[in-house]
Structures are given as structure tokens and as C-alpha cells.
Structure 1
Amino acid sequence: MGIQRLTHKIFSSISYISASQLLLCFLILLCVKVTAGSYGDRSYIFMKCVSNCGNKNCTSQSKFLSAQPWYLTVLQWSCKDECRYQCMWKTVDAFHKDGLSVPQFHGKWPFVRLFGIQEPASVLFSVLNGLAHLRILSYRKQVSPKVPLYYIWHLYALVAFNAWFWSTVFHTKDTDFTEKMDYFCAFSVVLSNCYAVLCRLYGTSPVRRPLIFAALVIALYTYHIYYLAFVHFDYGYNMQVNIFFELLDFPPLLWIFDAHSMWHAGTIPVCYLWYSFVIEDGLNMQLELGDDKDKKTV
């Protein structure tokens, strides 16, 4: 209760904080080091449960696989993963009985597994976000290929679609590989957006101009991948990038919908509006070029 009162006081006083104070708080947050552990997976009851489960159920791989549903096998749920999942809920129940708040495990809230899918809501919204980029087909129908950014927006759509594909895979089953692919591809969308904006602001003629922009973006992306893959996979970096999107973090509603999944849901209409702008901008550029090619309007 003391923590709740403190949190209430903090949020009630935000309106009195100046812009400079908020900036200072943000700079301090940038210096915070984040670890992969969470209160739930570091609790005694969780660690003891996982240990007992492993000793009891994970001594025979063939026995475990024979009793495992096919969809869990397809999604590569190991015996250790299964122990962690079952012990997670036992730990949540223990915390609830003691009047404690819902803990996180390995940096994540507990979610109800649906046919082996770890985060059903985030998976659903990631799929819908990916499908939203099919709006590029409307762009193709309405805008002439002669428009300077015609192929650049196609490239952006492919990059974004790929990123949401890996977001879907990552939220389906969290592994070291799927986590890295989700982070890497998410950053590729940011850079492809920057590339498109640079080309829109400064033009694509002469040809060397977009090539220079592309070289800068590729160099930055290559360094980013190299640093996270071979130097240090910094969880704090991801927190810093997304901190303003998920300040109102909360335990999942119905053990399915958390702040992160709702953020994914919120980007779906934004994607539609973004492509509406891209189409209108393309049509305006088409008029400036004097291209009266028969294109349907929105």
C-alpha cells in the first residue's frame, strides 16, 4: 500500500514538473542499467519449483516428448520451458495469497499460453499491423511509377512487413534468436522511415543523393546490429527507445492484454493513416510532374 500511495503522489505531481525537469529525469533514466532478471524468477518459490520440476520430469527427453501436445512440439517448448511456465503460475498464486502484486518473470508479465503462443494479444496485433502494410497495394493502383518515391515506399512496406513478421514470431515463442530478430527488424523500420523522409525532403535527383542517404542508413544499421550481436545485447537500449510508449505498464488484463500489446493495437490505425498520407502525397507529386496517367482516386 505504501508503494501505491507513493506512485499516486508521483503521478499527481507530474503536472507541476517543468519541461526541463522532465528532460533531466529522462537523461537520468538513460544512465540506468537494466538486468534480465525480475522479481518473479528470482523468488525462492519459483527457483525451487523449477528445480523440482526439472528433476522430476526432465530426466527422460523421450518420455516428455511423448506426452507433449503436437503444437507445443512444433513451437519447440522444451521440458525446461514447460517447467518455467507451470512454475510461473504457481509463483503468481503464491504472491496473490500473500497479498503481493503480480511479479514479472525474465522482464515479462505472466501470460496465458494459447496453443503454445506465449503472448496471444501481441501476436494478433502484430499480424494485423503487418496486414495493414498491404495498403501499399492501394498506393500501387493510384500512384504512377514515375513518382520519385514510388519504389522507396515499396521498399519501406517490405521492411515493415518483415519486421511485423518477426514481431509475430517473437511473441509466439521467445528465444534468443527470435528476440534478436524482433529488435533488429524493428530498428530497420525506423531507419527505412528516416531514409524515406530524407528522400522526400531533399529529393531523389541526382541519383547519387538517395545513394548517399542509403549508405548512411545502411552503415548505421550495420553498426547497430554488430553492437547488439557481438559486443553487448543491451536490454537498457530497448527500454530507452520505447520508454515513452509504455509508461503505463500494468499486469495483463485477463492474463492476455498488457500495455505492450495495447501499444501494438494502437499502431494499426496509425499505419492506415500513414499510407493515406503517402498516397495523397504521391498523387500531389504526380500532378506536379504533369502525369495524367489514368489512376483511380481514393
Structure 2
Amino acid sequence: MADASYGDRSYIFQKCLRDCKKTNCTEDERFYQEQPLAEWLLQWTCPEECSYRCMWSTVDAFRKDGLEVPQFHGKWPFIRVFGIQEPASVVFSLLNGLCHLRIFTLRAQVPSRTPMFYVWHGLALVGFHAWMWAAIFHSRDTYFTEVMDYFCAFSLVLYNVFTLYCRILGTSPLWRPLTCGVVLVAVFIQHTCYLAFVNFDYGYNMQVNAGIGFTNVIGWIIWSFLHYKRQRYVWKCVVTVVVINALIALELGDFAPLWWTFDAHSLWHAGTVSLGWLWYSFIIDDSVYVLKQMSKKKS
């Protein structure tokens, strides 16, 4: 979890928190009896509820004094909706996850099962799983949901490298994709074990993801450039990988949430929704092309 921030270290917040806990958290059964169902389902405790209420009291006090909106425990203040901690990020994460369900369109348009067909289906499965965990994490930030969000996101980054490898070098003979897969699984295990058991280093995790992600982007751009004359649809691939990485700049311009709902991270998630649809449009076009090439070789 994040270290303390200026807001939760302030005297206003600490005094409010002590008073709230003393008044409301001495009889836990009464608290849970009065707690709204949505908040009970998300397992909000009495001390956490006090922290939420005191957060807004502190924000009001800071704004009255003409001070900037503070962060609390490394996060901006968000208005909860039905107990959901960051509602905008949850909605956009779910929409990103649904984009991966477009893989079923591939089944309709490419009836023949090429090896690459199954590779793309693997991407859809990993991507859907990663975005669902992102939605869970933004609904309720706990150590477990945060770890799962980071680990699943890293698995998606690595699987994108796997798809690039398979598309460039092919899936035959079988030892090629298997070797690449074993190496990437080893990288995943090493990285996640370090974060889980040695040091959950946010900076290190970001550097690793950015480095591998950048390599993936350069690889797809080079591949698209080499195939553009015969496969005009590759522009979809280039636009997707370039714009996704350009949107990461939103994360650098961190700011207090607009209307206490839309922060830089949620807007990054919003921007990637349409790109998910474009990416699967590229996958469908590329699969149709590969199938036609295979038909020509057989005839």
C-alpha cells in the first residue's frame, strides 16, 4: 500500500479520524447493521469509513484556506458510488475488458483454425482477465487486489510480446513459440516473485513494463512498415500501439480528479477503449490475410 501523504498526515485529518473512531467504531455490530449493502459487500470497515469521511472534511478545510487539494495515502480523493472507490476507472476498465470479447467476431469471419488464430484467442483471454482485475482493484483498493492488478497487467504486456514473436517468426516448427513462451513465463515468475516476496517497488515495476512495452511497440512498427505495401490494413496496428503509448503521457500530468471522479489514470483507461476495437479490427484483417495466403499455397 502507498505511504502516507500530506492530507492524511495533517492535524485536521488525524484529529477527525481519532474522534470518528472513538464515536463510531466502539460497537462494530451497530456499524455493520447500519452500513449500506453495497459498502458491506465491498467490505468497508468502520475505520476505513471514518477515513473516507475525514478525508472530505480535510479537503474542505484545505480549500477554505486556499490550499491545493491534498492526496491521502498516495491517492487523490474520489467520490464513492455504491461503495466503489474509483467509479470512472471501473467503468472504463470494464469497457476495455469487453473489447477483448470481439475475438468472437474472429471466429465468424475466419472459420479455419490457423495456429495464429489460437495465439490471438490467448491474447483475448489474458486481456479480458487483466482488465477485469483492474476493475476489481479500482472498486476496492486492498493489497491483494492491487497485486493482482499489477501482475495481470504485466502478463498482458508479456503476452503482447509473444504475439509479436509468433507473427514475425511464425508458429511452426512448434519449438519456436514454445521456447518464447517458456522464456516469457520465466520473466513473469522472476518479476512477480521479486515484487511479492522481496520488494514491491512501484518504480521498478513501471520501468520493467515501460521497457518491455517500448520494445513491443518498436517491433510492431517495424513489422508494419515492412508489410505495408501488401497489407494496407497494418495502419491499424501502428495507430493502436503508438496512440496507446502516447496516452501514457496522461499519467505524467497527474491532477486532482475532475468533479472528484475523472483523474489522469481514468482518462487513460477511457482513451484505450476505442483503440481496443481498432486492434481487434487489425487482428481480424490480418487473420483473413493469413488464411488467403495459406489457401494460395495449397492451390
Match of 2:281 in 1: 276
Measured after TM superposition, the shift of residue 291 of structure 1 is 7.1
Give the Cα separation in 2 of the matches to 1:212 and 1:83.
Answer: 52
Q: Where does structure 1 differ by over 6 angstroms across 4 or more consecutive aligned residues?
A: none
Match of 1:247 in 2: 252
The TM-score normalised by the length of structure 2 is: 0.83
The TM-score normalised by the length of structure 1 is: 0.83
Match of 2:48 in 1: 81
Q: Counterpart of 2:272 in structure 1: which amino acid? A: T
1:2-21 → structure 2 map (5 Å cutoff)? none
What RMSD over aligned residues (CA atoms) do the two structures have, in Å?
1.8
Q: 1:74-104 deviations in whole A, cap 9, x for unaligned?
A: 1100001101100110110011011111111
In 2, are the aligned partners of 1:246 and 1:259 still within 8 Å (CA)?
A: yes
Q: Does 1:256 align with 2:295?
A: no
Match of 1:111 in 2: 78
Measured after TM superposition, the shift of residue 63 of structure 1 is 1.3
Measured after TM superposition, the shift of residue 43 of structure 1 is 1.5
2:30 counterpart (63, 80, 101): 63
Measured after TM superposition, the shift of residue 264 of structure 1 is 0.2
Match of 1:141 in 2: 108
Match of 1:40 in 2: 7
Q: Counterpart of 2:251 in structure 1: which amino acid? A: E
2:39 counterpart (55, 61, 72): 72
2:201 counterpart (234, 255, 260): 234
2:133 counterpart (166, 169, 175): 166
More off after superposition, 175-184 vs 241-250? 241-250
Q: Counterpart of 2:113 in structure 1: which amino acid? A: K
Find the residue that maps to 1:284 and give its secondary structure.
Answer: helix
Match of 1:31 in 2: none
1:206-221 → structure 2 map (5 Å cutoff)? 206-221=173-188
- Normalized per residue, the structure richer in helix is 2
Give the Cα separation in 2 of the matches to 1:78 and 1:116.
Answer: 12
Give the Cα separation in 2 of the matches to 1:256 and 1:35.
Answer: 20
Find the residue that maps to 2:295 and give its secondary structure.
Answer: coil
Q: 1:230-272 deviations in whole A, cap 9, x for unaligned?
A: 1111122355457644112111111111110000000001111
Find the residue that maps to 1:290 and give its secondary structure.
Answer: helix
The percentage of counterpart residues that share the same residue type is 57
Measured after TM superposition, the shift of residue 148 of structure 1 is 2.5
Measured after TM superposition, the shift of residue 144 of structure 1 is 3.7
Gaps of 5+ in 1: 1-33, 293-298
2:271 counterpart (263, 266, 270): 266
Give the Cα separation in 1 of the matches to 2:185 and 2:118.
Answer: 17
Measured after TM superposition, the shift of residue 146 of structure 1 is 3.4
Q: 1:103-159 deviations in whole A, cap 9, x for unaligned?
A: 111111100010100111001101111111111011111124432311011011001
Give the Cα separation in 2 of the matches to 1:291 and 1:269.
Answer: 34
Match of 1:19 in 2: none
Gaps of 5+ in 2: 211-247
In 2, are the aligned partners of 1:246 and 1:260 still within 8 Å (CA)?
A: yes
Q: 1:153-206 deviations in whole A, cap 9, x for unaligned?
A: 101100110011111111111111111111110111101101111111111111
Give the Cα separation in 1 of the matches to 2:205 and 2:198.
Answer: 15
1:145-156 → structure 2 map (5 Å cutoff)? 145-156=112-123
Match of 1:9 in 2: none
Q: Counterpart of 2:24 in structure 1: which amino acid? A: N
Q: Counterpart of 2:275 in structure 1: which amino acid? A: V
